Amino acid sequence: MDGTLGEAGEFGLIAELVKIFEGSVDGDEHVLVGPGDDAAVLRIKHGHVVVSTDLMVEGRHFRRDWASASDVGHRAAAQNLSDINAMGGTARHLTIGLAAPADLPVEWALDFARGFAEECKSVGATVVGGDITRADEIVIAVTVIGQCTQSPVLRSGAEAGDVLALVGRQGWAAGGLAVLGRGFRSPRALVEAYRRPEPPYAAGRQAAEAGATSLIDVSDGLLAEARHLAEASGVAIDVRRGAFEIPEPLTAVGAALGADPMQFILGGGDDHALLATFPDVASVPTGWQVVGEVLEGSGVTVDGLAYDGPTGWTHF
């Protein structure tokens, strides 16, 4: 569809977006009313309902010259789907709020929607509604509704003696962001990791079934998320540098930028890996890597010492 949002108008854009999303709900027995009405109507058969909301603001969370509209759609969906994953649940349905300038090309909005729908499809989730309005910059607000068939795994259950474990790619998106910030586009693997994260979607439920005592997704930084676990659980957490293998692309970027590549792993977010605590090493599922331990006390240390490097993203 050619033209801008101002030329297409609110209802013209909505009609095109409904075409993209309404097909995804066909055959979804949980959706009684999907996109196009005043509200969606869902059926939840059993278990716990889990809900999360995230925002993305142009210039703060993404730049159009760094990522395509489809990439932004994938990222917006991934960060929300990962929140349900981090409760040990399965994402089912999402709504999207999109605010954008009138001169934004319609095709950008549609490509964003296609990328968003594609990411949702990877976990069997569907878009059931949303809203659009005019704004001076692009703002994306997503709400995701999921389901836990078992008790949700919270941040607050870690106990001294537990082990800390990680699953998923970590530090790659942070390396890609550093590359883009310097005006480069390589190593391509890191740039693509920033543009389209690959959360370990099956691992949240896997952790819950294995008896994880606490669980969180690494959206803002590994040490920052470890601190959330420590504070919520009233414990101390020690992370071990030696548990991590630094992949070659991060080594290359560290050398090029004069930075310790470990800072991307310890302080990087946006890969949406999962960080969890388990009662012992034997209970850690296959594919997870033990990266630390839970102790009596408070705070987060690295190899038993205070860490003076970046620990993660802050919004203010």
Consecutive 10-residue averages of pLDDT for the chain (316 residues): 77 74 66 61 76 93 96 97 95 96 96 96 94 96 92 95 98 96 92 97 96 96 96 98 96 93 95 98 98 98 92 67
Residue 7 has what pLDDT?
79
Annotated binding site for Mg(2+): 38, 52-54, 83, 131, 217, 220
Together in a domain, 95 and 49: yes
Together in a domain, 216 and 263: yes
Residue 36 has what pLDDT?
59
Q: Is residue 316 part of a domain?
A: no
What element of type H or E holds 139?
Answer: strand 139-148
Cα–Cα distance for residue pair 72/66, rounded to 1 Å: 10
Residue 13 has what pLDDT?
77
> Partners of 96 in the beta sheet?
130, 142
Phi, psi of 102 (to 5 degrees): -65, -25
Together in a domain, 17 and 104: yes
Q: Is residue 288 part of a domain?
A: yes
Together in a domain, 226 and 184: yes
Contacts of 147 (CB under 8 A, 6+ apart): 44, 47, 48, 49, 50, 89, 90, 92
Together in a domain, 42 and 72: yes
Cα–Cα distance for residue pair 164/284, rounded to 1 Å: 9
**Burial readout 203-239 (b: 16 or more C-beta within 10 A, e: otherwise):** bbbbbbebebbbbbbbbbbbbbbbbbbbeebebbbbb
Residue 155 has what pLDDT?
94
> Partners of 129 in the beta sheet?
95
Residue 47 has what pLDDT?
76
Q: Is residue 140 part of a domain?
A: yes
Q: Is residue 67 part of a domain?
A: yes
Together in a domain, 178 and 139: no
Last residue of a domain, one of 148, 169, 197: 148
- CATH number, residue 206: 3.90.650.10
Q: Which pair of tokens denotes residue 110?
A: 């549609």
Together in a domain, 144 and 170: no
Together in a domain, 229 and 297: yes
Q: Is residue 311 part of a domain?
A: no
Annotated binding site: 38, 52-54, 61, 83, 130-131, 155, 217, 219-220, 270, 313
- CATH number, residue 120: 3.30.1330.10
Cα–Cα distance for residue pair 99/137, rounded to 1 Å: 7
Domain span holding position 161: 155-302
Residue 316 has what pLDDT?
53
Cα–Cα distance for residue pair 294/165, rounded to 1 Å: 10
Last residue of a domain, one of 148, 179, 206: 148
Cis omega (within 30 of 0) for bond into 105: no
Contacts of 257 (CB under 8 A, 6+ apart): 178, 182
Q: Running DSSP on this structure, what letter comes out for residue 291?
A: E
Annotated binding site for substrate: 61, 270, 313
Does this model's pTM top 0.85? My answer is: yes
Last residue of a domain, one of 106, 127, 148: 148
Cα–Cα distance for residue pair 235/264, rounded to 1 Å: 25
Together in a domain, 220 and 111: no
Residue 22 has what pLDDT?
66
Residue 309 has what pLDDT?
84
Q: How many separate domains does the chain show? A: 2
Together in a domain, 171 and 138: no
Annotated binding site for ATP: 130-131, 155, 219
Together in a domain, 19 and 137: yes
Q: Is residue 309 part of a domain?
A: no
Together in a domain, 162 and 297: yes
Q: Is residue 284 part of a domain?
A: yes
Collapsed DSSP state (helix, strand, coil) of residue 299: strand
Cα–Cα distance for residue pair 72/78, rounded to 1 Å: 10
